[in-house]
């Protein structure tokens, strides 16, 4: 367990980056989303553009919050499992 924690803390891995397999459905979906957002931003002006930007920013915040909550829940489950295995 000590080695796992040391690797997580001192390791040179960058856990803030995300990548997906080239030409996977996930990558295609991400590119479609990015392309659609750019097209909409280029078409919209004024108040409509502001509304769309606010919508996208709000969705990003909600999505990030949900991911963080799922991560924390997973950590709690892992710690509880570890404690129960120790006996």
The pLDDT value given to residue 1: 58
The pLDDT value given to residue 51: 97
pLDDT band at 9 (very low <50, low <70, confident <90, very high): low
In the predicted model, what is the mean pLDDT of residues 10-36?
Answer: 81
CA 19 to chain centre: 11
In the predicted model, what is the mean pLDDT of residues 78-82?
Answer: 84
Q: What is the pTM of this model?
A: 0.62
Tell me the pLDDT tens digit for each residue of 29-62.
999 999 999 999 999 999 999 999 999 999 999 9
What is the number of alpha carbons within 13 Å of residue 66 lying toward its C-beta?
A: 6
CA 72 to chain centre: 13
Burial class (CB in 10 A: 0-12, 13-18, 19+), 39: exposed
End-to-end CA gap in the chain = 15
């Amino acid at each position: 367990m000590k080695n796992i924690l040391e690797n997580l803390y001192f390791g040179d891995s960058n856990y803030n980056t995300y990548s997906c397999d080239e030409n996977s459905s996930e990558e295609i979906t991400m590119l479609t989303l990015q392309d659609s957002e750019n097209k909409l931003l280029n078409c919209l002006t004024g108040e409509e553009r502001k509304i769309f930007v606010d919508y996208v920013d709000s969705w990003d915040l909600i999505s990030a919050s949900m991911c963080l909550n799922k991560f924390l829940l997973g950590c709690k489950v892992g710690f509880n499992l570890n404690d129960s295995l120790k006996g």
